[in-house]
Amino acid sequence: MLLKLFKGTTPGVIFLIAFTMGITWVSAFLYPQNPPQAAYETNPMVLYAILKQITGGNLTGGVIFSLFSLTVMLFLIVGFNTSVFFINERTFLPALFYILFSAVFPQQQVMNPVLPASVFLMIALIRIMSAYRKQGTAFNFFDAGMLISIASMFYANIIWFGLLMIVGIVLLRTGNIKEISLSILGLLTPYLLLSAFYYVSGIDIGAFLADLNYNLFGRHPGYSFSRPILAVIVLTAIIILVSIVFLILRINTKKIKSRKTFYLLLWTLFISLVLYLVLPSVSVEMIWITGIPASYLLSHYFVFVRKKIIPEILFSGMFLLVLLIQAFYIF
């Protein structure tokens, strides 16, 4: 029943999604929390430090900014499928799933650097896919490199997603050295400009490099998983695995651009999971990034799966467990 309600594309579905976002973020406004003592908070990157100065440490103001950033992400996520049409059906399910991912960890529903960084990463993915069948040299990869680099000035570990430019070149282009060089140049340009600004202004760049190193390789204090959160994670992991298998079995029936888009998303998912498992500086805040490809994979599965009962149980279970987490957090 729940799945059927959200699979449509009528204005009523948009209202239901907006209502879901409201009820899953009400706890953030009722009980705004201090951000975790992670490296990105104690030694913030330059753009996040500016953002923190603007909000002045106001917790409610930070939640409002995060909710605004989330709204921008939802438009980008839905718009990406609308423009490329790789799911092969118009649907708002990716927005719903991203909202649900955003509510799994209530302590992360505060102002944080990962959400604005994810907005830039999302635009970078869109720019990469825009290079498909583009004549001549595709400067899209330079743009994507710039966007990822700017995103890393909010959340340093976004820089590792620069690998997606190489993946994009391999998937979409002939792999000429000029485009590879442009992508690397795009990744370096914001840091070169920042270094030049620091030099001219007489600001010690050593402090910035120390913060960058700490954000990339410092140790996160960790996260204590409650039983409801573990239940959601296990169930979601099962659904994602099922969705990946479902996609792989059908991917050869899709158009070339759709296949390549899903491959790029799978690489995004893979990189985010590797970073979470390997880097001590990465913790549950990675959900903002992992949620991007996962939202599309789940949407593709629930849109095209023919069985009714099992998908309905999986969808309803995930939806209700997220609401349960929020209820426990409030009461």
Would you say 273 and 290 are in contact if contact means Cβ atoms under 8 Å apart?
A: yes
pLDDT, position 44: 95
Q: Compute the Cα dihedral for 116, 117, 120, 126 and give only its sign.
A: negative
pTM over 0.85: yes
pLDDT, position 298: 98
pLDDT, position 300: 97
Q: How many residues does the chain have?
A: 331
Find all residues with CB under 8 Å of 246, minimum gap 6, and list them.
300, 301, 304, 305
Would you say 105 and 223 are in contact if contact means Cβ atoms under 8 Å apart?
A: yes
Cα–Cα nearest to 233, from 199, 308, 191, 284: 284
Would you say 110 and 28 are in contact if contact means Cβ atoms under 8 Å apart?
A: yes
Which residues of the chain register pLDDT less than 70? Answer: 175
pLDDT, position 177: 87
CA gap 97, 91 in Å, rounded: 12
Give the tokens for residue 271.
């990189």
In this structure, which amino acid lies at residue 281? S
pLDDT, position 327: 92
pLDDT, position 219: 87
Cα–Cα nearest to 69, from 11, 128, 28, 34: 28
CA gap 117, 275 in Å, rounded: 16
Q: How far is CA 227 from CA 184, 222, 232, 303, 313, in A?
A: 43, 16, 9, 29, 20
User: ∠117-215-94 over CA atoms, to 5°?
Assistant: 30
